[in-house]
Structure 1
Amino acid sequence: MARSYSTDLDSLFSFWGLKGVLYAALAMPLLVWSGFLFPFITTKIIYFRLLVEIAFGIYLILALQYPEIRPRWNWLTRTVLVYLGVIFVASIFGVDFSHSFWGTVERGEGVVTILHFVLYFMILSNVLRTDKEWYRYLFTAAMMIAFTALYGFAQLQCYGFNPLAGDSICSLLLPSQGTRISATIGNAAFFAAFVLFGAFLSLYLTRGASNRFLKVFLWVVVVFEFYIVFETRTRGAVLAAAAGLVIFCLIALFKTKKFKIKALSFGLMGLLLAVGLAIYFNRDAGWIKKSNTLERLASISPSDVTTQSRFDTWGASWRALQDRPILGYGYENYNVGFNKYFPARIFKDQGSQIWFDRAHNIVLDVAVASGFIGLAVYLGIFVAGLWVLVRLFRRSDVDWMEPTTLAILLMVYFFQNLFVFDTQATYLMFFLVLALVVHLHKKYLAGAATPGASYYPGYIAPAIVATLVFAAAYFVNIEPAVANRAVTSGILASKLRDYRAIEPAFKRALSYGTYMDAEFRQRLVDMTLDAVSSAPPDKFSDEEKNEMFQFTVAELEKTLKETPSDAKHHLYLMSMLNRLPNNPEAVDRVISLGQEMIPLSATRPQLYFELGQAHFNKGEYDLGLEQFVEAVELSPTTKESHFNYLLAAIIAGRENIVVEQQKILEELGYELRESEYESIARAYFQAGNKQKVAEYYELTVAADPGNAGYRAKLAVAYKDICQVEKARLSVDEAVRLDSSFVVEAQEFLRQLEEACGK
């Protein structure tokens, strides 16, 4: 029922509380808690979604009463909402709606999270109504980013610090991403994109600085943050920053009348151009190699491994898009399309990243997820935002620098996203900037608002809203957070070698039935394999190991049933089943899974490794060798493909193939490590060739002479061929290297005498 309601909105405690929640949301990028699986993601997204749900509940009630904070429609707001609608519809008609809606633990996205960011955008663009309010909010955001930049700078200074060396501030910092700084974001590329927002927002704020000290301070922040972007060694972000500065300087040359600014702009453009040319023409110079960032920039070429991987990934993305061009595969289902056209060339070795859930290109990511319709609407968001800023740029009553800075920020953000993808921190800043553009549109371009009716909500509406907010908070955030915490306790138990605590922890986590279950089960595989292979019998009996193994297999079967379109789940289950000894049903299941996986990802060498192993477990050596040949043909220059084929040939007794593969490995420039020599020795043991077993354990020991375990195994190999003196020397050397072998050595020597009679 409409009624007059005269209470001043700004005097309401609830309205101030709403603003407080919006300010609290800015702390999201700072939060990391190691108690979660994927702590850099889960901590942030749980916190942010909870705050948005609270904010939306308060906003909804207030908007009923106060028309002035209701949305005022414009093309930018409409386009954002249409994009949300398109990705929702695309997900309904995609390959896995549940996966699209909830997303994954690792990314923390899904339609549900994008919905929260859109709600944040809608609330922010209508609750902050004055320039003063916006300046304070933007300044808070800029200072939060500046803090993360300082954090990254501290990581840079602490690189190489040994936390065991003594007390230091370095021991309090989060670990960086290898040699690249990542602050509280957890990834150098994401951190660079985030800091770019800070640099340009600080530049934007310089125009509204209330005093000279604040203006100088903000300029210092701008320079410092561009330096931090450079130190992240993120090539896309560095190039985007440089391009953005050049565009800004070009515009400044024509817009400003001040000679000093023209001179500075011209000088900065000249400096950036000179540095770029110097890097290009001196790529092998010593001064380039002394800077990790410059060396990475100089290494950009079509033959660069990272560049090749990007091109291969983009090619697979384009082929996947052609299968579903209208609405794509659904949000968060990029991996399904990528798997189907997996480029085998990116499998360089066992450490290669072979599971991609993003194209590392925002255009292809959006297109594969939501088709050309989704891509058109997504690009429309930038067009709508830039059109508002261009109109503001043309106005005489608007400082040209403000719309210019925001327009360049949007372009820089889009450009660097051509080589990476978004995370929570960059989404937060992107939707904040969009809300700011909406505010500027209201201030300068929109007509007078039509007064709306005020509705007193009474008590029922707030009670309903509170119930819905609580339900959303519990099912969307609290329950997944509790489940996530349970899994980390299981992972901790594994690290502490408390093997009996692992399975109960995972059972507790999986009992909640959250969207995180599939990733929990993948971690369960790692914990199970570690427990089965390394747990001593007194801490984890064979019966307990078998029970845990069977539990893991059963859980993987559930994942496969829930998500049959993801080839990754097939491969996980095949790998586990192949480890069950003397189990014909398991072997048949592996072969059946392999046939199911072929339409999903026929070009993955790992598929044929598992199929080959399954056929070998059945004693079907010829069929098994055919699978290993398939893997070699897919990855003809990869060490693992040839080495696995070599091991299979040894077991099958095809010495001609063994010699051939050894020659190919040598021609490809690969050298075998001690672990690989041992694998060959084990294969010969399985084939019954004891002489070769001893020969390859000799090579194993030669590659790692200080390893007592290898010495002991060589002694056993010598015993099996009754080379008594060599066996004794080897076991003596094992005892010398590790005195714990004494008792076993005495028993070994007794067995040696019995076996060989000497």
Structure 2
Amino acid sequence: MPYEKNGSSLVCWFFIVTLFLPILVLPPSFQPSDWTRVMLFRVIVITLIGVLLFKFFYKKDLRLELPAWNTSLYGPLIILVAYFATLLAATVFSQDILFSIFGSPARAGGVLSMVCYFIFAVLLALFINKRQWQRLFHMLFAAGIMASLLALAQYFNVFKNIFIAYEGGSAPSFLGNSTILAIYMLFLTFLSFTFFIQGKSPKIKIAYGMLFLLFASTIFITGSRAAYLGLLAGFLYFFLFFPYSHKMKVLKIAAVAILLCSVLVVAMFNLLPQLGEKNNILKTVSSRVSLQRISQDIFGTRLSAWKMTWQAIKDRPLLGWGPENFYIGFEKYYDPTPFATPKLLWDKPHNIFLDVAVNSGIFSALLYIAFWIVLFARLTIAKRNQQKDEAYADNPLRIHALQAMFIGYLIVLFFNFDSFATYIISFFFIGYAFYLITLKQEKIALPIVQHTIFQKKLPAIAALAVLVIFSWFWNIKPLYLNEKIVRAKNLAAEKHCQQAFAIANSQDWSRSGIMRPYAIVKYSEVVSNCAFIEPEKEVEYSQKMVSLLKTAGTIQPSFSKIWVFMGSFTNVLAAREENSDAKKNLLREAIGYLQKAIDLSPGRQEAFAQMEKSYLIAQDYPAMEKTAHDCIAIDPRFGECYWHLGVAQVFLGNQLEGKKNVELAVKNGYEKPPYKQLAIAYMSQKNWKEAVLAYEQVPIYYENKEEAASIHAVLAFLYDKAGDYVKAGESALEVFKLQPENPETIPFIKLLLGKRPNDSILKSSLAFIYLQPGPQQELSKAKAIYLQLAADYPANASYRWELAKICYQLKQYDQAWRHALAILGINPKAREGVEEFIKTLPAEYWQSYLQR
């Protein structure tokens, strides 16, 4: 095991910076936060390696000692190296090699990052001495305090104008996920409790005791059941197997008391659930220890997902699907029916052992388990040996705490997965474990390399070039590009579309290096959210997206979402294509892309829904109906497929069944259905009544006047066909308000008047149009219509008001004055308004009014 007594201060500072990375947040640059943090981490690790190699080979001022070879001593390291060897082998034979190397931006994995975590642990054991370990622990406490305080502020809604509140629990702090925060705090809880026990003075004990309570409270408010269980198991081990026998009896009693209290709390909140209504804290406890919710989570979600994961493991048991490629195997065997929602989007199996097995094979999983067992055993041996030596008086309890930490950590991971913060803190303590088990061992100093090649500048420059290339192309450049696409995505989500497009379109995402597939998918989300802002560019954006997605599909061909997006955007192109042959070719391409998505993930209904749209555009309603039935057969809760089934059935003349399925779509949660589709289907069957009911549901956005006018025009047409001439006139009037220059409005209302010649609403609509300034203004015709309306409806003062205004515009002041007086006779309460109007007439009319 590597070992070094006099680690340099510079190296220690590298580790200090690393320990603060989990709480480093700077949106939008640090979104997804883990991926951006891990890129900085890789830069730190490779820079540190470069510095150490420079000092060892070139400057020759770095002394290095290793423990003498002993197979048992080196056992944990040998197994860990073997485990990483299986990861590398699995990467070579991976279903998606690049993804295995660099990992998902949403996570902190990838073989490259995993190797850096391993190096991080080894370098800690190699270069950090006792005094520096204590310093690193204090830095870790500082990071933990900041994370805890933010979590408490979020939970108790403190500084709510600054921080997002999580009053119901699950506060994530800086770490982005409450369970990840709980795992992180689990390590710090055991560490602070150990320091509390070892405190030499009351002040130190109080300080560490407060830290312990702070970290334990943070675990509590995260609401992580797995963390509760891990903490309980860790402390049971800590007390039951305490290394000092003179305290064993008291601690065993404490362990039994803790276990009984835990059982009592669970029983109490399950038998008396009303206790959870007292306040938010009790509500958090009640919801997380509910046996009903626990069983629903395990048997309704996790166990079903684990079964699908096991199917994927059996498919490729030797080397798995490749690191980070769980999603490929999971998607192949995904079945939505056991889950609460038909759209369970998991890229991890939420079980570390299954995760390792599905990604890198069963043998790799066995090595992973063996590493923890052998490390635990070596820690036990070291604990026993160092108990007898006063020089290492503090170590046995710390080793014991490490074992408790690792027990709790693995229990949590049985139901969860690692993230950047948990990788950092777990490998930090693995490094500390390596350091502790190599104490009291005979050391061998590594000889200084004397070969002159290492003192020449050319190798040093070459090594520096490698460092720069690695940092720039695989870390710094992706960090910069990620900031741009995430900013654009966030703006698009808030409908600030012009700003989003300005940022997103300033970059050629087909040249975005290792993040091409991720960036292209995010860009497609920007286009999907904001295409409405520039409808005239819909075809242009769709063509661009198809081209970009083809690039992403070449790099990451097993990601079904890429093929769904390709099919979706190709459908848009086909819908806008006027040439029939070109349309057929586009639809053939779209169906091909979507079939690829279905082959990769036969249980994902989104691809079926897009294929149904392809058949709708092709007017192949039997195929659309069949595809919708296939979709519903997968999971009958997916509302969109019911919608397409209903629309297809209406087109095919089966209107009764079609209407039932359309209603089922809404009942099953299909949001924002395209009612235009349904209206057109009913129009094809000349069912004007149902067409009207459907088209009335079409949302109207008056920001786009042309589109709003078009919707009102269709409504006017449908109302006319359905025999509702009044609403037809009202809709036509809305068209005129939006498009005064539209020449078809007046003839259409006149046509309606021919069908309903005595309808007052149609007459007033026509008069309103004649009143408006513009080429169609005819005040005399408006006056004639309002005179007729006033004669037919003498009790309606509004017609007199319109006549008074028209006469004023025509400078027929005498008539305007008489109509104003008539308004008073109809509605005396209108006196104030009438008097104001008369004052606008020549002065003599006001005098006449006063003398009246």
- Determine if contact 1:104/1:516 at 8 Å carries over to the other structure: no
The normalised TM-score by structure 2 is 0.77
Match of 2:445 among 448, 451, 459: 451
Superposed, which structure 2 residues align to 1:481-520 within 5 Å?
481-491=479-489, 494=492, 497=496, 499=498, 502=501, 505-506=504-505, 508=507, 510=509, 512-520=511-519
Tell me by how many angstroms 1:211 deviates: 3.1
Q: Distance in 2 between matches of 1:412 and 1:576?
A: 47
Tell me by how many angstroms 1:603 deviates: 2.2
Q: Deviations over 1:30-88 (max 9, x none)?
A: 11121336242233112211111111112223445434356877222222222222111
- Determine if contact 1:487/1:509 at 8 Å carries over to the other structure: no
Tell me by how many angstroms 1:658 deviates: 1.7
1:433 and 2:432 equivalent? no
1:97 and 2:88 equivalent? no
In structure 1, what is the equivalent of residue 438 of structure 2?
442
In structure 2, what is the equivalent of residue 723 of structure 1?
724
Q: Distance in 1 between matches of 2:738 and 2:160?
A: 45
- Determine if contact 2:25/2:174 at 8 Å carries over to the other structure: yes
- Determine if contact 1:330/1:369 at 8 Å carries over to the other structure: yes
Q: Distance in 1 between matches of 2:542 and 2:467?
A: 40
Q: Which stretch of structure 1 is more off in the superposition, 491-500 or 458-467?
A: 491-500
Match of 2:314 among 312, 322, 327: 322
Tell me by how many angstroms 1:413 deviates: 0.8
In structure 2, what is the equivalent of residue 155 of structure 1?
154
In structure 1, what is the equivalent of residue 287 of structure 2?
295
Q: Distance in 2 between matches of 1:421 and 1:303?
A: 20
Amino acid at match of 1:654: N
SS where residue 407 of structure 2 aligns? helix
Amino acid at match of 2:693: E
- Determine if contact 1:344/1:605 at 8 Å carries over to the other structure: no
Q: Deviations over 1:357-392 (max 9, x none)?
A: 211111111111000111111112211221122223
In structure 2, what is the equivalent of residue 279 of structure 1?
269
In structure 1, what is the equivalent of residue 28 of structure 2?
35
Q: Distance in 1 between matches of 2:402 and 2:376?
A: 9
Amino acid at match of 1:591: I
Superposed, which structure 2 residues align to 1:345-360 within 5 Å?
345=337, 353-360=343-350
SS where residue 520 of structure 2 aligns? helix
In structure 1, what is the equivalent of residue 693 of structure 2?
695
In structure 2, stretches of 5+ residues that fail to align are 578-582, 700-706, 757-852
Q: Distance in 1 between matches of 2:507 and 2:419?
A: 29
Q: Distance in 2 between matches of 1:487 and 1:481?
A: 10
Superposed, which structure 2 residues align to 1:173-572 within 5 Å?
173=163, 180-252=170-242, 255-257=245-247, 264-283=254-273, 287=277, 291-301=283-293, 304=296, 307-345=299-337, 353-395=343-385, 396-397=387-388, 400-444=396-440, 447-455=441-449, 457-460=454-457, 461-491=459-489, 494=492, 497=496, 499=498, 502=501, 505-506=504-505, 508=507, 510=509, 512-532=511-531, 534-535=532-533, 540=534, 542=536, 544-572=537-565
Amino acid at match of 1:692: E
Amino acid at match of 2:449: Y
- Determine if contact 2:567/2:590 at 8 Å carries over to the other structure: yes
Superposed, which structure 2 residues align to 1:746-757 within 5 Å?
750=746, 752-756=748-752, 757=754
Q: Deviations over 1:618-652 (max 9, x none)?
A: 22211221111011111123433333322332333
Q: Distance in 2 between matches of 1:573 and 1:92?
A: 28
Given the superposition, is the C-alpha separation of residues 174 and 63 from structure 1 closer, same or farther in structure 2, using an over 3 Å criterion? farther
Q: Distance in 1 between matches of 2:415 and 2:180?
A: 11
Q: Distance in 1 between matches of 2:325 and 2:67?
A: 32
Q: Distance in 1 between matches of 2:166 and 2:273?
A: 27
Amino acid at match of 1:180: S
Q: Deviations over 1:268-292 (max 9, x none)?
A: 3332232123234445765589513
Q: Distance in 1 between matches of 2:184 and 2:717?
A: 58
1:54 and 2:47 equivalent? yes
In structure 2, what is the equivalent of residue 584 of structure 1?
584
Q: Distance in 2 between matches of 1:441 and 1:135?
A: 17
Given the superposition, is the C-alpha separation of residues 360 and 265 from structure 1 closer, same or farther in structure 2, using an over 3 Å criterion? closer
Given the superposition, is the C-alpha separation of residues 69 and 284 from structure 1 closer, same or farther in structure 2, using an over 3 Å criterion? farther
- Determine if contact 1:236/1:419 at 8 Å carries over to the other structure: yes
- Determine if contact 1:483/1:509 at 8 Å carries over to the other structure: no
Q: Distance in 2 between matches of 1:601 and 1:674?
A: 25
Q: Distance in 2 between matches of 1:408 and 1:138?
A: 17
- Determine if contact 1:317/1:368 at 8 Å carries over to the other structure: yes
Q: Which stretch of structure 1 is more off in the superposition, 271-280 or 302-311?
A: 302-311
Q: Distance in 1 between matches of 2:240 and 2:277?
A: 29
Tell me by how many angstroms 1:486 deviates: 3.0
Q: Deviations over 1:143-190 (max 9, x none)?
A: 31122011100111227xxxxxxxxx4433367698531011111121
Amino acid at match of 1:99: F
Given the superposition, is the C-alpha separation of residues 464 and 208 from structure 1 closer, same or farther in structure 2, using an over 3 Å criterion? farther
| Count of residues paired in the alignment | 714
Q: Deviations over 1:495-541 (max 9, x none)?
A: 57454872773562525432211111111112212332x21xxxx46
Q: Distance in 2 between matches of 1:470 and 1:688?
A: 70
Q: Distance in 2 between matches of 1:413 and 1:596?
A: 40
- Determine if contact 1:486/1:506 at 8 Å carries over to the other structure: no
Match of 2:162 among 172, 175, 188: 172
SS where residue 443 of structure 1 aligns? coil
In structure 2, what is the equivalent of residue 5 of structure 1?
none
The normalised TM-score by structure 1 is 0.85
Q: Distance in 2 between matches of 1:70 and 1:468?
A: 28
Q: Distance in 2 between matches of 1:177 and 1:363?
A: 33
Given the superposition, is the C-alpha separation of residues 258 and 497 from structure 1 closer, same or farther in structure 2, using an over 3 Å criterion? closer
Given the superposition, is the C-alpha separation of residues 89 and 443 from structure 1 closer, same or farther in structure 2, using an over 3 Å criterion? same
Tell me by how many angstroms 1:241 deviates: 1.7
Amino acid at match of 1:523: K
Amino acid at match of 2:289: L
Given the superposition, is the C-alpha separation of residues 443 and 207 from structure 1 closer, same or farther in structure 2, using an over 3 Å criterion? farther
Tell me by how many angstroms 1:215 deviates: 2.1
Superposed, which structure 2 residues align to 1:731-746 within 5 Å?
742-744=737-739
RMSD: 3.4
Q: Deviations over 1:672-703 (max 9, x none)?
A: 877576764465357654321222456789xx
Tell me by how many angstroms 1:660 deviates: 4.8
Given the superposition, is the C-alpha separation of residues 619 and 729 from structure 1 closer, same or farther in structure 2, using an over 3 Å criterion? closer
In structure 2, what is the equivalent of residue 162 of structure 1?
none
Q: Distance in 2 between matches of 1:661 and 1:606?
A: 18
Kindly name which structure, 1 or 2, has the bigger radius of gyration based on alpha carbons: 2
SS where residue 450 of structure 1 aligns? strand
Given the superposition, is the C-alpha separation of residues 439 and 230 from structure 1 closer, same or farther in structure 2, using an over 3 Å criterion? same
Q: Distance in 2 between matches of 1:679 and 1:451?
A: 78
Q: Distance in 2 between matches of 1:286 and 1:21?
A: 46
Given the superposition, is the C-alpha separation of residues 741 and 172 from structure 1 closer, same or farther in structure 2, using an over 3 Å criterion? farther
Residue identity over aligned pairs, in percent, reads 20
- Determine if contact 2:326/2:355 at 8 Å carries over to the other structure: yes
